[in-house]
Amino acid sequence: MSAPNNAWSSPAWTYREIRTASRRLLMLSLAVNPFQTLFVLLALAVKFAAAATLDGLTFEQESSLPFWVLEGLRSKASNVTACAALNPFYQRADFDGDGRADYSVIVCEKLSGKRGIGFVHAKGPTVIVLGAGAESPGSGSDDYSWMDAWQVFERGRVSQGMTEEQPPTLRGDALLIEKTSSASAILWWDGDRYQWYQQGD
């Protein structure tokens, strides 16, 4: 018994056929209402450009992170998105001291645009967001937009900071976050949560 002769039984379109049909549709739209078509195309271009630069990462930037890091942020911190607000936009180190590489990524809250840091531990993976609209230890507030530099603080001795608080004993690597020429602090994992130690002021 032969298959019914309808569109559903037709072979799949090739890339060349799809590209040709798309071009013809665009030319038809331009001929019918060129101004409206150009306006829609411009609006889409602006939207996609903003999404790539402000509300997320470009394809090339996403390709720099392991899949489990991106998937961890998307599934366990859906209110934020990774963003390239700082260069580099991520750090790789053993933050929880278990011998495996973890990641910290600059994130932005989707609704407010507030910045923060998303820690993604290899174990789990576990995702902890500081800032970006969420509660943060120490003086970090819920927005890290003030931060203009950061680097990995390798596990070791922490020098006395600007306060009388005793320096922490690090379980793993930490993050040194800074407002250059102004203030700095160390974010470190105590085995249960991230803590803030004021380093400079």
Q: Which of 148, 119, 149 is nearest to 131 (CA)?
A: 119
Same domain, 34 and 68: no
The tally of CA atoms less than 13 A away on the side-chain side of residue 146 is 14
Same domain, 21 and 36: yes
In a domain, 8, yes or no: no
Same domain, 179 and 80: yes
Same domain, 134 and 36: no
In a domain, 87, yes or no: yes
60: pLDDT strictly greater than 50: yes
In a domain, 168, yes or no: yes
Same domain, 46 and 122: no
Same domain, 127 and 49: no
Same domain, 122 and 31: no
pLDDT of residue 163: 83
Distance, in Å, from the CA atom of 157 to the CA atom of 68, rounded to the nearest integer, reads: 31
Model confidence pLDDT, tens digit, residues 106-163: 999 999 999 999 999 999 889 999 999 988 887 668 999 999 999 999 999 998 888 8
Distance, in Å, from the CA atom of 189 to the CA atom of 96, rounded to the nearest integer, reads: 6
Range of the domain at 22: 14-53
Same domain, 104 and 166: yes
4 CB-near residues (< 8 Å, 6+ apart): none
In a domain, 132, yes or no: yes
Span 95-105, mean pLDDT? 96
Same domain, 39 and 74: no
75-79, 133-137, 190-194: which has the highest mean pLDDT? 190-194
Mean pLDDT of the chain: 82
Same domain, 133 and 37: no
Q: How many domains, the chain?
A: 2
Same domain, 27 and 114: no
Span 33-37, mean pLDDT? 66
Q: Which of 168, 164, 201 is nearest to 187 (CA)?
A: 168
